[in-house]
Amino acid sequence: MFNSIVLVKQVPDTANISGKVMKDDGTVNRSKLPAIFNHEDKVALELALRIKETYGGKVTAITMGPPRASDILRECLFMGADAVYLISDRKFAGADTLATSYVLSEAIKKIGNYDLIFAGRQAIDGDTAQVGPQTAEKLHIPQVTYVEEIISCQKDTVTIRKKIDGGYEIVEAAYPVLLTVLKDAADTRPFKAKRIMAYKNAKSLTDLEGMTEGNSLLYTDKLVHEYEEKNLFIPTFTMDELKLDPERCGVKGSPTKVFKIESVVLAGGNHIKIDATKTGIGNLIDQLMADHIFG
Amino acid sequence: MNKLSNEVWVFIEQRNGKAADVSFELLSKGHKLALNMGGVLKAVIIGDKVKEIAKETFKYGVSEALVVEHPGLLAYKTMPYSRIMNKLVNEAKPRIVLFGATIIGRDLAPRVASNTKSGLTADCTELKIESIKYLGKEFKDLLMQIRPAFGGNIIATIITPDNPTQIATVREGVMEKHLSTATKEIKITEIPYIPDPTDELVKIIEQHREESKINLKAASIIVSGGYGLGTRENFKLIYDLAHTIGGEVAGSRAAVDAGFIPPERQVGQTGVTVRPKLYIAIGISGAIQHRAGMQEANKIIAINNDPDAPIFGVSHYGIVGDAAEVIPNFIEAYKQKLK
């Protein structure tokens, strides 16, 4: 039996940025972008679920993000996660990878009882691949990054194929260990209809507060209780609940700062226009031959 | 606050006793940074029998090489390497530490940043020293860490204003390698390795490594395709053209994501940076992330059916048209001229 914690992230769909989401100052208006489940994190969840199905155990998915990140936690439930936690607090806003890994590592300590921690190699909005290793360091546990395949789990070790520069390695890691996985490590399963029916109404505290807007706090408490009874309540960890040091969270806890952002606008430029015809291209080839690039 | 260090460190990555190219590129850049802030450049080499590598670093302006040698350190392993680096960085608090953005560098640098609570910026495409004003405060000789961000749609300058150590990673090929003219006396400082039980938590059972047959950096002509090709079928045209004119095949990140080409052939900030004699970009819109990897090519030809595609902005020659028609025309015209 192996218990896994999976780190997942909701990311803006950076592959589909259009002019509409750019602000006048050239920065990106994140709230206008569609938010999606970071694909490599989904692959990480898939691997955790397969281990549970083969060896038994429990799969817990956690995400740090704004309230709407509960969307991907519901998706984790649809795929088969046993428990999910939203880690959310206004004071986490503006966190860089160091501050994020601090919060995640403390949340993992609170959940406890894990053999494996899974994460995607990197998230598509920053492509840094830093949060996994930074979290492992804070937990004082080893890591295996760029996982291509989990070969087998033994009692004390897990055997893994990982990518290295120019090849691959087979490694054996002792538990607990943190793994960051590549997108080709597994095909993710579709959501199960039965689980969608069961969990589509799972709600976090903020979700429920939204439902009771204008009503009394008492009513929210009652709703929370009701959803807990039905096993549809997504618990939220805040800064206070995790007893975190405010100096290490959010902007304050982030050593890196964005000093400047430029969006480089490129117009047509001064290039020479070449006709798409054989003659036009032929002339271009003559030019390149004269420049000793061809021939 | 204690006086800040004036040292620039480069982690020298070695595989089977051979130093990675990116490490020398970083030394070349690191030397410039050190000069600009009135500091010194140091190399850190961990491995087994790596003194020859250490000696080589002095050709790039290194003042001192810190060497940690032990048979158990022959191959890179996260736990001992990060333990050693953490200790060295915590003790000396170098002002700047640079790592290659290789698989090893991306495994190691975050652990060091996490342990030493330093700022870390990944995949920088430019690094420079500047004195700036930030939030009303003056900062002298700060490292400007410049990188495309947000899926490569904008360029961000990242700083680490308030911490003693600024850490950055850079992809191979981004910085240019050049020997330093100033000859430095060789000073190698050996640092003892004390094994720890945690070093054995992850064991390497087998290692397979092949010299990559793909060498985009060395290619003088590159034909590169993007998502605009639409299908894998159409992407074959890229291979046909490359074959005809004797070029290497490459692609944009979107082409890799779509499965048109393997990741080893990706040009751009998160791929390879190339400087060929000729770069032909076909069906590539020209996001910053891609341009970062090819805009220094000697000549650039862009082929795109969108006349407003940003790629034309960095091109010398532009052909507006459908790749499925333009490429066969190109191949035929070439064969006629050079038969």
**Could you tell me the CATH number of the domain that includes residue A158?**
3.40.50.620
The backbone region for B296, taken as left when phi is positive above 0, alpha when psi lies in -120 to 50, beta otherwise, is alpha
Q: Which of chain A's residues have a Cβ under 8 Å away from the Cβ of B206?
A: 169-170
| Residues near A197 by beta carbon (within 8 Å), at least 6 away in sequence | none
Give the residue among A127, A131, A128, A122 at the shortest CA–CA distance from A101.
A131
Residue A21 has a pLDDT of 65
**Does residue A40 lie within any of the structural domains?**
yes
**Does residue A273 lie within any of the structural domains?**
no
**Does residue A19 lie within any of the structural domains?**
yes
Architecture of domain B7-200: 3-Layer(aba) Sandwich (3.40)
List the single best residue of A105, A146, A158, A165 to mutate versus B (max B Cβ within 10 A). Answer: A165
| pLDDT-based confidence at residue B16 (cuts at 50, 70, 90) | confident
Residue B46 has a pLDDT of 98
* A94 in contact with B, Cβ within 8 Å: no
CA B236 centroid distance within chain: 28
- Give the chain A residue nearest B269 (alpha carbons): A127
Domain segments of chain B: what residues? 7-200, 216-337
A96-111 pLDDT, tens digit each: 999 999 999 999 999 9
Q: Which residue do the tokens 């950096």 mark?
A: B217
B298-308 pLDDT, tens digit each: 999 999 999 98
Q: Which residue do the tokens 């032909």 mark?
A: B280
CB contact under 8 A, B160 and A257: yes
Provide the domain count of chain A.
1
CA dist A1 and A53 (Å) reads 10
How is residue A91 written in tokens? 């004071």
* A120 in contact with B, Cβ within 8 Å: no
B161-193 pLDDT, tens digit each: 999 999 999 998 899 999 988 777 899 999 999
| pLDDT-based confidence at residue B205 (cuts at 50, 70, 90) | very high
Q: Is B15 helix (H, G, I), strand (E, B) or coil?
A: strand
Of B113, B154, B329, the CB nearest to A281: B329
Q: Which of chain A's residues have a Cβ under 8 Å away from the Cβ of B201?
A: 141-142, 173-174, 177
Question: What number is the average pLDDT over the span B31-37?
Answer: 97
Given 3-state DSSP classes, what are the helix, strand and coil percentages for chain A, each rounded to the nearest 5? Answer: 40, 25, 35
Question: What number is the average pLDDT over the span B195-222?
Answer: 91
* B299 in contact with A, Cβ within 8 Å: yes
Q: Which residue do the tokens 């920065």 mark?
A: A27
Residue A28 has a pLDDT of 60
A46-97 pLDDT, tens digit each: 999 999 999 999 999 999 999 999 999 999 999 999 999 999 999 999 999 9
Given 3-state DSSP classes, what are the helix, strand and coil percentages for chain B, each rounded to the nearest 5? Answer: 35, 30, 35
User: Are B177 and B28 contacting, i.e. CB atoms less than 8 angstroms apart?
Assistant: yes
More confident residue, B213 or B142: B142
DSSP string, A92-118: GTT--HHHHHHHHHHHHHHH---SEEE
Which residues of A, range 50-79, sit inside 8 Å of B by Cβ? Answer: none
At residue B269, does pLDDT exceed 90? no
* The domains spanning B7-200 and B216-337 adopt the same CATH topology: yes
- ipTM for the predicted complex: 0.90
CA dist A199 and B236 (Å) reads 45
Which residues of A, range 139-178, sit inside 8 Å of B by Cβ? Answer: 141-146, 159, 163-174, 177
Average pLDDT, chain B: 94
**Does residue A253 lie within any of the structural domains?**
no
Give the residue among A52, A257, A12, A48 at the shortest CA–CA distance from A147.
A48
**Does residue A244 lie within any of the structural domains?**
yes
List the single best residue of A259, A262, A263, A274 to mutate versus B (max B Cβ within 10 A). Answer: A259
Give the residue among B331, B327, B289 at the shortest CA–CA distance from B311.
B289
Query: What percentage of residues in chain A have a pLDDT greater than 90?
Result: 78
CA dist B124 and B145 (Å) reads 6
* B288 in contact with A, Cβ within 8 Å: yes
How is residue B88 written in tokens? 């060295």
CA dist B287 and B268 (Å) reads 9
| Residues near A277 by beta carbon (within 8 Å), at least 6 away in sequence | B329
| pLDDT-based confidence at residue A24 (cuts at 50, 70, 90) | low
How is residue A33 written in tokens? 């972008």
Helix spans in chain B (H): 21-36, 51-57, 78-92, 103-116, 232-245, 253-257, 288-291, 323-337
A193: domain range? 4-248
Average pLDDT, chain A: 91
Which residues of A, range 2-31, sit inside 8 Å of B by Cβ? Answer: 12, 14-15, 17, 26-28
- Phi first, then psi, for residue B133 (nearest 5°) are -110, 125
**Fold of the domain spanning B216-337:** Rossmann fold (3.40.50)
- Give the chain B residue nearest A11 (alpha carbons): B150
Q: Which residue do the tokens 């001229």 mark?
A: B337
Question: What number is the average pLDDT over the span A252-256?
Answer: 96
B224-247 pLDDT, tens digit each: 999 999 999 999 999 999 999 999
- In chain B, the N- to C-terminal Cα span, in Å, equals 71
**Does residue A96 lie within any of the structural domains?**
yes
How is residue B159 written in tokens? 């700083």
At residue A18, does pLDDT exceed 70? no
User: Are A159 and A152 contacting, i.e. CB atoms less than 8 angstroms apart?
Assistant: yes
Helix (H) or strand (E) holding A167: strand A167-174
